[in-house]
A and B are shown apart, each in its own frame.
Chain A
Amino acid sequence: MQRLKYRICSFLKYLSLVLASFIAIMPIMVVFFASFKTSKEYRETGPLVLPQNWLNFENFRRAFGEGNMLLGFLNTAFILIVSTVGAILLGTMVSYVLDRFKFRGSKLIMTLFLIATLIPGITTQVATFQIVNKLGIYNTRLAAIVLYMGTDIISVYIFLQFLSTIPKSLDESAMLEGASYLTIYRKIILPLLKPAISTVIIIKGVGIYNDFYTPFLYMPNRKLQVISTALFKFKGPYGSQWEVICAAIIIAIIPTLLVFLLLQKYIYNGFTKGSVK
């Protein structure tokens, strides 16, 4: 009897997992199928039918070319790299100073960063837009870069958290050997912050790659399109050509999938460490 109950429980457990996986994968899977279908085939077969020819890359060619997705990737990569590097440099610098030096105003600065976490970026966009405009960086890549760098307070928290676990005696013994504060930051603090840095890279990277709002609002120029906005442009004119849109979706997803498969372990760590704080 006990055994039977155990078996049923186990069966239900796996059933629920298989069902959940089906629900998670299926919406993406059908898009994948459609991306290989010819337009005639797309019209005549249902979404669940497999494509006849898995090597029909025509839709991908069209999506990539007509959607100018290479430009999207280049812009995304540029913005992502510059703002992530910038955010990490600025974040580690602020946290180093705030954690290691106590000075007049250090409490105030800490509080300023703290309160800023309470302000969700999306609520202040209307006014931020005016400021970006005034600074003359509207419709430049710089707009997105400074916004990603400037509003990043979460990374400061992650760095502060890690810094408090690095013993101050390390700094002190380096000082005995005559190292400057700059050297201490570069040669001791930065290397020891590596796990925190990888966490921030992952969280920021995912956030920037997937962000739609910032580029959509601040960089409407066609030449500045990123992956999100490139994809969004398919909406109107391709309304009836779902097979091309589907190829574009898959093109946008591929980098995410690759990074996920390669860095799975770090991604899990990054998110649990970053979100719980």
Chain B
Amino acid sequence: MFKFSRLSYKKQRKVIILLFLLVPIVLLITFSYWPLEKMFVYSFYKWNGFSKHKEFIGLNNYIKIFTEPKYFSVFKVSLYYLVGSFIQMPLALYFATILSFKIRGKNFFKGVIFFPYLLNGVAVGFIFLYFFKPDGTLDTLLGALGLNQLIQKWIGNPDIVNFSLAGSSVWRYIGFSFLTFLGAIQSIPSDIYEAAEIDGAGRWAQFRYIIFPSIKRIVELNFILSIKGAISVFEVPYIMTQGANGTKTFVIQTVDAAFKYSKFGLGSAMAVILLIIVVIASLIQNFIFKDREM
């Protein structure tokens, strides 16, 4: 019977390299690089996704995206989510800071703030449909506080709907920023605080001169992730409004173009643009990080 261990180490080495890399590399190429290449190719064609006939139209798909406001306006929607994440980060940082020190009920508060991040995306969509619907939770709460005049059509009014959706997004993702900040703050050795306290530094001074400088990189990382996230928002608006009422994001637009209206060429061109934006954001991130390490 053949026994692997009888082979010389040199032969074993060859076999194991081949054996262990074969499947992962096939998967990597099939589901990362092949689609990438296809996407670039499709983006120059007019194609409905299934017919044999593809028409080469050069840059026309790209021109369409940049000249027709219908396609380009989705970037404005991203701004709401970007602003949302700029509200989310300071809040997350604040809670991460106070929960890093001695406080009663620490684990409870930590769990409660983080838990929404673990929830199913569809469940979050429904929870907030219920929250914002007419006579729903928010309206009832406002009524109970005597703020009846603030009651709105939170999802129905096109001027407000994107704020509502971005708010749901903040609710969902704040736990993630919170946890990354918490992890970073807790990796600061505690004797630094003790030394600072002896020197008479208050909490605010400790935050400014000890905590903030040591978590700067995580803050930067969160910034870049927010930009990436804001451009590729999909689940919350898709589940809540299907992109109606001016809530279409770039990804919903791409999915609609390709799968709903069978414009695979146009959908691919949009995806290429999205990819380029994300790659630029990542490069900026890497650049900033390299800079810090030196």
Instruction: Please name all residues of chain B whose beta carbon is closer than 8 Å to the beta carbon of A245 when the two chains form the complex.
Output: 126, 130
- Let me know if A271 and B179 touch, CB within 8 A: yes
- Let me know if B127 and A90 touch, CB within 8 A: no
- Let me know if B116 and A231 touch, CB within 8 A: no
- Say which one of A51-59, A160-168, A176-184, A190-198 lies at the interface with B: A176-184
- Let me know if B234 and A122 touch, CB within 8 A: yes
B44 contacts partner chain A, Cβ-Cβ < 8 Å? no
**Contact partner, B31, options A101, A147, A234, A235, Cβ 8 Å:** A147
Contact of A253 with B120 at beta-carbon distance under 8 Å, contacts A47-B136, A94-B20, A181-B13 already known:
yes
A1 contacts partner chain B, Cβ-Cβ < 8 Å? no
- Let me know if B126 and A97 touch, CB within 8 A: no
Closest Cβ–Cβ distance, residue A160 to chain B (whole Å): 13
Contact indicator per residue, chain B 6-30, by CB within 8 Å of chain A (1) or not (0): 0101001100110011011101101
User: On chain A, which size bracket covers the interface?
Assistant: 35 or more
B 220-249 contacts with A by CB, 8 A:
221, 228, 232, 234-235, 239
Q: Tally B residues with Cβ within 8 Å of A.
A: 92
A170 contacts partner chain B, Cβ-Cβ < 8 Å? no
Instruction: Please name all residues of chain A whose beta carbon is closer than 8 Å to the beta carbon of B180 when the two chains form the complex.
Output: 271-272, 275-276
A241 contacts partner chain B, Cβ-Cβ < 8 Å? no
Contact of A256 with B118 at beta-carbon distance under 8 Å, contacts A90-B27, A94-B20, A213-B234 already known:
yes
- Let me know if B279 and A118 touch, CB within 8 A: yes
- Let me know if A123 and B274 touch, CB within 8 A: yes
Instruction: Please name all residues of chain A whose beta carbon is closer than 8 Å to the beta carbon of B160 when the two chains form the complex.
Output: none
- Report the separation of the CA atoms of residues A103 and B27 in the bound assembly, to the nearest whole angstrom: 21
Instruction: Please name all residues of chain B whose beta carbon is closer than 8 Å to the beta carbon of A90 when the two chains form the complex.
Output: 23-24, 27
A139 contacts partner chain B, Cβ-Cβ < 8 Å? no
Contact of A21 with B122 at beta-carbon distance under 8 Å, contacts A46-B140, A126-B258, A179-B5 already known:
no
A175 contacts partner chain B, Cβ-Cβ < 8 Å? yes
- Let me know if B123 and A182 touch, CB within 8 A: no
- Report the separation of the CA atoms of residues A127 and B36 in the bound assembly, to the nearest whole angstrom: 7
B33 contacts partner chain A, Cβ-Cβ < 8 Å? yes
Contact indicator per residue, chain A 145-165, by CB within 8 Å of chain B (1) or not (0): 011011101000000000000
Instruction: Please name all residues of chain B whose beta carbon is closer than 8 Å to the beta carbon of A221 when the two chains form the complex.
Output: none
- Let me know if A120 and B228 touch, CB within 8 A: yes
A26 contacts partner chain B, Cβ-Cβ < 8 Å? yes
A217 contacts partner chain B, Cβ-Cβ < 8 Å? yes
A224 contacts partner chain B, Cβ-Cβ < 8 Å? no
- Let me know if B95 and A17 touch, CB within 8 A: yes
A80 contacts partner chain B, Cβ-Cβ < 8 Å? no
- Let me know if B9 and A48 touch, CB within 8 A: no
- Report the separation of the CA atoms of residues A275 and B229 in the bound assembly, to the nearest whole angstrom: 14
- Let me know if B122 and A130 touch, CB within 8 A: no
- Let me know if A130 and B38 touch, CB within 8 A: yes
- Report the separation of the CA atoms of residues A99 and B278 in the bound assembly, to the nearest whole angstrom: 29
**Contact partner, A249, options B28, B37, B127, B171, Cβ 8 Å:** B127
- Let me know if A124 and B42 touch, CB within 8 A: no
- Report the separation of the CA atoms of residues A232 and B239 in the bound assembly, to the nearest whole angstrom: 8
- Let me know if B98 and A182 touch, CB within 8 A: no
Nearest to B283 among chain A residues (CB) is A118
Contact indicator per residue, chain A 85-109, by CB within 8 Å of chain B (1) or not (0): 0000011011011000101000001
- Let me know if B38 and A21 touch, CB within 8 A: no
Instruction: Please name all residues of chain A whose beta carbon is closer than 8 Å to the beta carbon of B126 when the two chains form the complex.
Output: 31, 231, 234-235, 245, 249
**Contact partner, A94, options B21, B115, B123, Cβ 8 Å:** B21
Instruction: Please name all residues of chain A whose beta carbon is closer than 8 Å to the beta carbon of B278 when the two chains form the complex.
Output: 118, 120, 123
- Let me know if B183 and A276 touch, CB within 8 A: yes
**Contact partner, A253, options B35, B119, B140, Cβ 8 Å:** B119
- Let me know if A113 and B42 touch, CB within 8 A: no
- Report the separation of the CA atoms of residues A97 and B231 in the bound assembly, to the nearest whole angstrom: 36
A223 contacts partner chain B, Cβ-Cβ < 8 Å? no
Interface residues, chain A, with chain B CB atoms under 8 Å away: 9, 13-14, 16-17, 20-21, 23-28, 30-31, 34, 46-48, 90-91, 93-94, 96-97, 101, 103, 109, 112-113, 116, 118-120, 122-131, 135, 146-147, 149-151, 153, 175, 178-183, 185, 206, 209-213, 217, 227-229, 231-232, 234-235, 242, 245-246, 249, 252-253, 256-257, 260, 264, 267-268, 271-272, 275-276
Q: A182-B4, A212-B121 are in contact. List 20 more A-B contacts (CB 8 A).
A: A17-B109, A20-B113, A21-B109, A25-B112, A26-B137, A27-B131, A101-B16, A109-B21, A112-B25, A118-B282, A119-B32, A130-B42, A180-B4, A180-B7, A212-B122, A232-B239, A245-B130, A249-B126, A252-B120, A271-B183
Interface residues, chain B, with chain A CB atoms under 8 Å away: 4-5, 7, 9, 12-13, 16-17, 20-21, 23-25, 27-28, 30-39, 42, 49, 91, 94-95, 98-99, 103-105, 107-116, 118-123, 126-128, 130-131, 135-137, 140-141, 144, 171, 176, 179-180, 182-184, 203, 218, 221, 228, 232, 234-235, 239, 251, 254-255, 258-259, 264, 267-268, 271-272, 274-275, 278-279, 282
